Structure 1
Amino acid sequence: MSRIVFTSSIFAVALLLFTGCAPKVSKITLGDYYPKVYASNTKSILVLPAKNTTTSVDATDHFRYTITKPLAEKGYYVYPVHLVDSFFKSENLSDTNIIHSIPVSKLKDIFAPDAILYVDINAWDTGYTVMDSHVDVGLSFSLIDAKTEEELWQSNAYAYSYEGLDGNNGLAGLIISAITTALNTATDYTKLAGVANNAGVSLLPAGRYNPLYKKDKDLALTFLDIAKLDGSRLYVDEYFIYGNKQEGKVALTINRRAKGYFAFPVTDMNWFAHNGYSNYYITQEIKGKKYLRNRFFLYENNRPFLLAEGKKVFVQTETDGTIPFSEEGGRFYFNIEKIIELKSPESKS
């Protein structure tokens, strides 16, 4: 039976096993993490058809079928996607590039939402080998305030399905695996898209129609310190970029090559050890403009940052959005643009 697994908790254990030492953590409240969401008082969200940059012609539909539920469960009114799609169709608008370029003010006049959700599908890939098969899904989210046109919230999510041998079963196992791989064309893509959508909005603050509305502002979040400060520079270790070398192309989990459906938001280090996404950068189109974003970083106001020692550490970028770095002794160093001190949740009254 397929399983849905969010790997943030098990990866802390796995990292301990991998590095041989207890990882340091940063603590932050959800209110400090996404302050603009709380200031906006967003109640309703218009979800635009996702821009699909992959070769899968059905990816957009799978996304649309599964995005409403996690947003509604968060407490937001979501404009019915079939009605939204019908409107665009009645206006002869089927190209998502054109839809994403419609001015926010125009969308606000038509639908009157509090916020607009832009989504790019940047991975929807299927891979087969004699030993296994897998499907990878990658999504990028950007929530825009319909009144101010500022970005309130941004998130990336990655999900995959895996089917293959659990161990070394000899020639018979290879034959069985080959047959299983050949027959593994019935992946539930809608379910997989739902896993990615759930992961993507997992840390979105609760909306007006959720009992936790405004109450989750002081919710304490704990993140592994995957980045470290070294004077005027920020650095990450080699495994941050290349993932767990012992497992190769299979994401690091306690069950190793566990079958089923898995997902991890950007706040989870497991995404670095993913079995795909060799391209560090993804292009996200918001309000008709394209933004280059590095999948290893979090973003605020289109500026990349990582959490380190209880601080938001923003790094310098080139004019095209790329992030310059230098490599020294297995570490990757980034120049710091600014540091925002964060109060530990324990110190707040």
Structure 2
Amino acid sequence: MGGGAKRRHENPSSVLGDPPLNTTVNVDAADYFVSTISRPIAERGYYVFPAHMVKRLLDDEGLSDAGLVHQADASRFAPLFGCDTVMFVEISRWDSQYIVITTSTNVEFHYTLKSCDTGATLWTDTQAMSYSPQASNSGNPLVDLIAQAVVAVTCP
């Protein structure tokens, strides 16, 4: 696990996954990420709120843009969702390199888990990974890469 603050005394049982803040030029990066983040976190025993429901409620609250969501105080989400924590994710790198007959895609994610009770940062981490579709036997290597990045992050 990477660096950052950890506060396990809060013992959260639910994680609200906000729409990721995509600071890359890849317009599909956030959609790919949202479609894969729930499962690895749920497999670690946390309740994860359904992504489409979260997006809809945030839209209704005037937080339709990921930038607005990331600027909001974490304690604002508890009354809306009844969640213990909120995970803010920034996608800071998503680029592909094409060399002769191979392609390599590099991604980097910054995670911040905040308490919805106090607004305090409970934990932070950064994951950077690469994949090459030619080296994968999976049906969807991009989904596998994102899932690996999420699993590599140890939630409190």
Please report how far the alpha carbon of residue 35 of structure 1 lies from its aligned counterpart in structure 2 after TM superposition. Answer: 5.3
- Identify, as 1 or 2, the structure richer in helix: 2
CA contact (8 A) 1:46 1:79 kept: yes
Which letter does structure 1 place at the counterpart of 2:98? Y
Q: Within 1, Cα distance between the matches of 2:142 and 2:132?
A: 12
SS at match of 1:160: strand
| 1:86 equivalent in structure 2 | 56
Question: Equivalent of 2:149, from 183, 186, 196?
Answer: 196
Which letter does structure 1 place at the counterpart of 2:120? E
Map 1:90-109 onto structure 2 (within 5 A).
90-109=60-79
CA contact (8 A) 1:119 1:141 kept: yes
SS at match of 1:136: strand
TM-score, length-scaled by structure 1: 0.40
CA contact (8 A) 1:126 1:135 kept: yes
SS at match of 1:74: coil
Which letter does structure 1 place at the counterpart of 2:81? F
Please say if 1:116 is aligned against 2:86.
yes
Please report how far the alpha carbon of residue 72 of structure 1 lies from its aligned counterpart in structure 2 after TM superposition. Answer: 0.6
Please report how far the alpha carbon of residue 119 of structure 1 lies from its aligned counterpart in structure 2 after TM superposition. Answer: 0.5
Q: Within 2, Cα distance between the matches of 1:163 and 1:115?
A: 34
Please say if 1:154 is aligned against 2:124.
yes
Question: Equivalent of 2:47, from 71, 77, 85?
Answer: 77
Please report how far the alpha carbon of residue 89 of structure 1 lies from its aligned counterpart in structure 2 after TM superposition. Answer: 2.7
CA contact (8 A) 1:115 1:143 kept: yes
Please say if 1:60 is aligned against 2:30.
yes
Q: Within 1, Cα distance between the matches of 2:28 and 2:19?
A: 12
| 2:96 equivalent in structure 1 | 126
SS at match of 1:193: helix
Which letter does structure 2 place at the counterpart of 1:55? V
After superposition, what is the alpha-carbon deviation per residue over 1:213-250, rounded to whole angstroms, capped at 9, x for unaligned?
A: xxxxxxxxxxxxxxxxxxxxxxxxxxxxxxxxxxxxxx
Q: Within 1, Cα distance between the matches of 2:7 and 2:126?
A: 18
SS at match of 1:55: coil
TM-score, length-scaled by structure 2: 0.85
Off by >6 Å, runs of 4+ in structure 1 = none
After superposition, what is the alpha-carbon deviation per residue over 1:85-116, rounded to whole angstroms, capped at 9, x for unaligned?
A: 11123345321111111222222221221111
Please report how far the alpha carbon of residue 132 of structure 1 lies from its aligned counterpart in structure 2 after TM superposition. Answer: 3.1
Q: CA RMSD in A?
A: 2.4
Please say if 1:36 is aligned against 2:3.
no
CA contact (8 A) 2:5 2:124 kept: no
Q: Which has the larger radius of gyration?
A: 1
Q: What percentage of aligned pairs have identical amino acids?
A: 32
